[in-house]
Amino acid sequence: MDFIKKPREIEDRSMELIAPHLAPYHLSEVETKIYSRIIHAAGDVEYAPLIHLHPQAVAAAQQALRAGASIYTDVEMVRTGINKRKLASFGGEVHCLIADPDVAAFAKASGITRSMAAMRRFGPALDGSIVAIGNAPTALYEVLRLVEEEGMRPACIVGIPVGFVGAADSKEQLRRNPFVPYITVEGTKGGSPIAAAVVNALMYDLDDTRF
Amino acid sequence: MDFIKKPREIEDRSMELIAPHLAPYHLSEVETKIYSRIIHAAGDVEYAPLIHLHPQAVAAAQQALRAGASIYTDVEMVRTGINKRKLASFGGEVHCLIADPDVAAFAKASGITRSMAAMRRFGPALDGSIVAIGNAPTALYEVLRLVEEEGMRPACIVGIPVGFVGAADSKEQLRRNPFVPYITVEGTKGGSPIAAAVVNALMYDLDDTRF
C-alpha cells in the first residue's frame, strides 16, 4: 500500500486540493485558512458557499486569543478537537460544563438541554471570551439570549450547531444579532470538528508551529 | 425565542425529519437507526446514498458488543463521542493511543502518523474487537494491513476517515477486504461524530435507555 504517511505532507496536499474550490470567494489569507480547515474537517467542499464570517470576527477573535481569552463550548467533542497546547501557549483554556452534575440536575429540573444549562452557568465569564458551539442549537439560542437580554459580550461566537431541529434557525438568528461578531455555516450542516477547526485555524494563523 | 428544549423531543423530531430521505433504501429497523444517526450527526441527508453496510456487519458488531468487546479508535474525538456509560453497561471500553508518548515517539522516528502507529500498537487486541476510525486514512490503511498481512480479525470495522488525501481510497480498500465486515461511507466525507454515531446506533438498538 503506497500512500502519504507524513502529517505535514498530508495536510499540505489536502490544502492544495481544496484551494481551487475557494477561488470564487476572493478570500484573504486567514479567511482561506478558515474555509480550508472547515472543508478539510468535513471532507466536504460544499461547505464553501455556506460559510459566513462577520467582517470583524477574525480580528476580534484573534485579538482575544492573543490576550489569553478562554474558549467556552457546548460539548466535550469541541473541547477535544481544539488544540489545547496551542491555546495554552497564548494563555487560554477551554471550558465545557456539559458533564457537570449540577448542570445536569438543573437541566433535568428545568426541562431544558444540558448544553443550554451549561451556557447559562458560564454567565459573565462569557464577556470577552470566544464561544464555540459545535453541537446544540439550544446552546446557541441560550448564548444569544444572554447577549440580547443580559448584556453578555463575547469577543466572537463560533456558532456551528448541527442538525434538523433548530440548527439552521439558531444560526440565522446568530447572523442577525447586532452585538457580537460571528463565524457560522448556514443550514443544517455543522458539528464539533467544524467548530474546532475554526478555532484551530484562528490560532494557527497567529502561530503555525505544530509539526 | 420559541424552540424545542427537551432532548428526547429534539431527537425524535430529528429522526422524523430524516425518515422521508431514507424511504428509497428499504432499510431494516437497525439499519434505519444507523443511517439516521449518521445523517443527524452530520446534518447532511446527502450521506444516505454513500453509506455501505457489509451484510454481516450489524450482527457481528452487535454480537461483539453484547459480549463486552472493546472499541479501538484512531482519535480522541471518536472516544469522546461514543457513549461510554452505555458501552460499560455491556462490559466494553474505548481505547485510543493517539496521545501516548511512546506512540508519538515511534511515529516521529518512523515518519508515519501517530494514529497509524497507535493502530499498530494495539496489535492482537484488535481480534474480536470493534475498530472505529473517524479521522485518519492512515489508521484505516494500517488496520487493513494488520488484517491482511498479520491475520488480525476485528469483529467489525467502522471505517469512516475524512478528507481529500487517502480517505476515499482507504474506504474503497475497506470495502474490498474479504476478511472483516465493515460499516463505511464512500468518498471524502466522514469524521469523528459520524464514526461515533454508528457505534452509538449499534448500542442504542440493543438497549435504548438514555433519557
Size of interface A-B (CB pairs under 8 A): 131
- Helix A7-22 vs helix A29-42: crossing angle, to nearest 10: 110
If contacts are CB pairs under 8 Å, which of residues 57-116 in chain B contact chain A? Answer: 76-77, 79-81, 111-114, 116
Domain boundaries, chain A: 51-206
- Catalytic residue, from B21, B40, B54, B95: name it: B40
Cβ–Cβ of A43/B137 closer than 8 Å?
Answer: no
Quote ipTM for the complex: 0.95
DSSP B92-127: --EEE-TT-HHHHHHHHHHTS-HHHHHHHHHGGGGT
**B26 is annotated as an active-site residue:** no
Surface-to-core class of residue B137, CB atoms within 10 Å of its CB (0-12 exposed, 13-18 middle, 19+ buried):
buried
pLDDT (0 to 100) of residue B208: 77
Q: Is the pLDDT of residue A146 over 70?
A: yes
Surface-to-core class of residue A141, CB atoms within 10 Å of its CB (0-12 exposed, 13-18 middle, 19+ buried):
buried
Find the CB nearest A1 among B42, B80, B141: B141
The answer to whether A173 contacts chain B (CB < 8 Å) is: yes
Cβ–Cβ of B193/A192 closer than 8 Å?
Answer: yes
Residues of A in contact with B112 (CB under 8 A): 5-6
Per-residue pLDDT band for A6 (boundaries 50, 70, 90) equals confident
d(CA A140, CA A120): 11
Using DSSP's 3-state secondary structure scheme, residue B72 falls into strand
pLDDT tens-digit series, residues B122-168 = 999 999 999 999 999 999 999 999 999 999 999 999 999 999 999 99
If contacts are CB pairs under 8 Å, which of residues 41-60 in chain B contact chain A? Answer: 41-44
Cβ–Cβ of B193/A189 closer than 8 Å?
Answer: no
pLDDT (0 to 100) of residue A199: 98
Surface-to-core class of residue A50, CB atoms within 10 Å of its CB (0-12 exposed, 13-18 middle, 19+ buried):
middle
The answer to whether A40 contacts chain B (CB < 8 Å) is: yes
Q: What is the distance in angstroms between the CA of the first residue and the CA of the last residue of chain A?
A: 24
- Catalytic residue, from A21, A26, A40, A95: name it: A40
Which pTM was predicted? 0.96
Find the CB nearest A77 among B3, B164, B193: B193
Per-residue pLDDT band for A32 (boundaries 50, 70, 90) equals very high
Assess contact for A130 and A65: CB atoms under 8 A: yes
Domain B51-206 is found in CATH 3.40.50.10230: yes
**Residue whose C-alpha is closest to residue B159's, from B150, B145, B170:** B170
Question: What is the rounded average pLDDT for all residues in chain A?
Answer: 95
